[in-house]
A and B are shown apart, each in its own frame.
Chain A
């Protein structure tokens, strides 16, 4: 796998570049779309959850409370939206030439990561605007981001492989993403989740990841290590599982697509 990664890094780079180049051609707003989605959701959430429903935000201004979670969440959900159909949409290529098929979903995730970086600039701007204090705990972003990427790739590998066989995956995806979002502490603080439900709640790696981001970015706290390690262990386990699953069935993609 490592050898392959080095051998095919040029191709991974080209495929990722292609995704980025292609995504916003023939659109007026272009790359601005990368930040419009989390920003628009932030506005809606601020109106609905904060102004109308009075959801508490642990003393943090609600817009940045929401955006600090929406930014990584959008990275996750957009990755799924793009990477899961990637085997199917690249069928012409898959039928014509061999190279490791994992490059398709991974390049989709990497291309989405560029959107995430652009969105992060907005976050930093907002942190200044709302005078959030920067603490040393902000360094935790790196390991949390790593866990998120591993988890995202794990889900994308598994689901994109199944989608090559059963398009049901693609059709179910919008619903799953929606439900998943409400099952993660994005619109509301994790502290609202009742004590007895917490262990179960944090079995969802995205819950631990989002909770972690919010702690280290806007609250200036270290992440909750027990929840984060559940997320880390779960992500790694899933990654290994789905990588080998993907490898096992990738040779039949050309026959079923």
Chain B
């Protein structure tokens, strides 16, 4: 059964002053229109969404991904009924739970308890329903000791916890989740995701907007990739996420050389990009396995090496070489740096080549990006997050990385 349908939806916003306008400006605008009649030109508007069509069935989770400004938030706002589409129609069947900016309904002067009631009724619960669920809400938030404190004294993490606890107790049939859960500590986050998991299993329709590709892959059955307000790809989560990260990659590497790129158009997933063709040229950067052969696929615990070479036409003094590792969704995993390791270079020029050996790779399975970085006296000369590689592992694993470890057990 279809829970959400988005039918050829477009949403247009007026450029420039949004909202805050004075009467004088409007009268001025109106009179200039009277003098020079004609329709508003297309230049005055931004299309946040253009002809977007999709459906979400009951029990299905749809992920929406895309660079900033692609229209993800607009899509959620339209689904939540906060704003109306310029064109097209939207239908949502069932009680809606909205996990967007969870503490929007909180009033700083009121206590946690009062805010539970206020937010609960904003989210569509009746008073008796809130009374019934009150204990469960407070328990879930873990804020029993602070519930009589005005929320202006809460930390942002506490606000999110309380907000989520209220929102998740709405018992929604349709759930909209924005990247709100990025706040809050790890334990609470996993508690939230468990709860969302249970809701999904109970057969509700979920729309999930995130930059976190891991989460998207984990939770979504299907993913839409939005760019400039249009769907550029949709399909199974793995496929679309991979396409998105690769195309972001390509844009990073193919977008010219010479100076820092215009990063407004690309997600700065893997830090800054700088390709200085004058001082660092013909860069070669690759991953090799234990046998010294180039590869893109390695296993957790492998001994590997990253080989690099480049030309320095002019002398570089006080040089540093660094490599940064990112998970595919842009999390900065770790890095290595010659200066930190007290590897000192004399002033050098010409062809430079080298390698860094890594023993017992600690990275867990997944896809990663390595950035090759050259600095001169702390100044960035070259930085190219280009090398994409996959880590595999067939045994069970937990957490963020693999410890280099051994067991010692004695029984007497």
Contacts and interface: CB of A to CB of B under 8 A. Distances in A.
Contacts of B80: 96-98
Contact of B122 (A21, A93, A95, A165): A93
B100 A96 contact: yes
Interface in A20-68: 21-22, 25-26
B121 A21 contact: no
A71 B120 CA distance: 35
A96 B121 contact: no
A96 B19 contact: no
A168 interface: yes
Interface residues of B, number: 34
A254 B123 contact: no
B13 interface: yes
A251 interface: yes
B109 A21 contact: yes
Nearest to B12: A255
Interface string A60-90: 0000000000000000000000000000000
Contacts of B127: 10, 13-14
Contacts of B77: 95, 254
B110 A257 contact: no
A25 B109 contact: yes
Contact of A168 (B13, B22, B109, B123): B22
A22 B109 contact: yes
B109 A26 contact: yes
Nearest to A99: B122
A18 B118 contact: yes
Contact of B101 (A26, A96, A167): A96
A26 B150 CA distance: 11
A110 to B, nearest CB: 15
Contact of A166 (B26, B122, B124, B125): B26
Interface in A103-139: none
A92 B19 contact: no
A217 B368 CA distance: 80
B340 interface: no
Interface string B55-82: 0000000000000000000000100111
A11 B83 contact: no
B105 interface: yes
Given A95-B82, A96-B82, A167 B22 contact: yes
B23 interface: yes
B20 to A, nearest CB: 7
A99 B124 contact: yes
Contacts of B124: 11, 99
Contacts of B150: 25
B114 interface: yes
B13 to A, nearest CB: 7
B18 interface: yes
Given A15-B118, A166-B26, A255-B83, A10 B126 contact: yes
B133 interface: no
Contact of A255 (B18, B20, B23, B110): B18
A256 interface: yes
B19 A256 contact: yes
B372 interface: no
Contacts of A165: 19, 21, 26
Interface string B234-255: 0000000000000000000000
Contacts of A218: none
B122 A14 contact: yes
Interface string B263-304: 000000000000000000000000000000000000000000
A18 B98 CA distance: 21
A251 B104 contact: no
Contacts of B109: 21-22, 25-26
B104 A22 contact: no
B228 interface: no
Contacts of B101: 92, 96
Nearest to B178: A96
Contact of B82 (A11, A13, A15, A254): A254
Contacts of A166: 21-23, 26
A151 to B, nearest CB: 24
Contacts of A252: 83-84
A209 to B, nearest CB: 29
A256 B121 contact: no
B82 A18 contact: no
Nearest to A255: B83
Nearest to B129: A10
Contacts of A14: 117-118, 120-122, 127
Nearest to A25: B109
A18 B120 CA distance: 13
Contacts of B125: 10
Contacts of A18: 107, 110, 114, 118
Contacts of A257: 19
B81 A98 contact: yes
A94 interface: yes
A256 B82 CA distance: 12
24 contacts: A10-B127, A11-B124, A14-B118, A14-B122, A17-B118, A22-B107, A22-B110, A25-B109, A92-B104, A93-B122, A96-B80, A96-B82, A97-B82, A97-B98, A99-B124, A166-B22, A167-B20, A251-B83, A251-B84, A252-B83, A254-B77, A254-B82, A255-B18, A255-B83
Q: Kindly list the 9 A-B residue pairs having the minimum CB-CB distance in the complex, ordered from nearest.
A: A98-B81, A256-B19, A96-B104, A14-B121, A11-B121, A254-B83, A251-B84, A254-B82, A25-B109
Given A95-B82, A96-B80, 10 more contacts: A14-B117, A21-B109, A93-B104, A93-B105, A95-B104, A96-B104, A97-B82, A97-B100, A97-B122, A99-B124
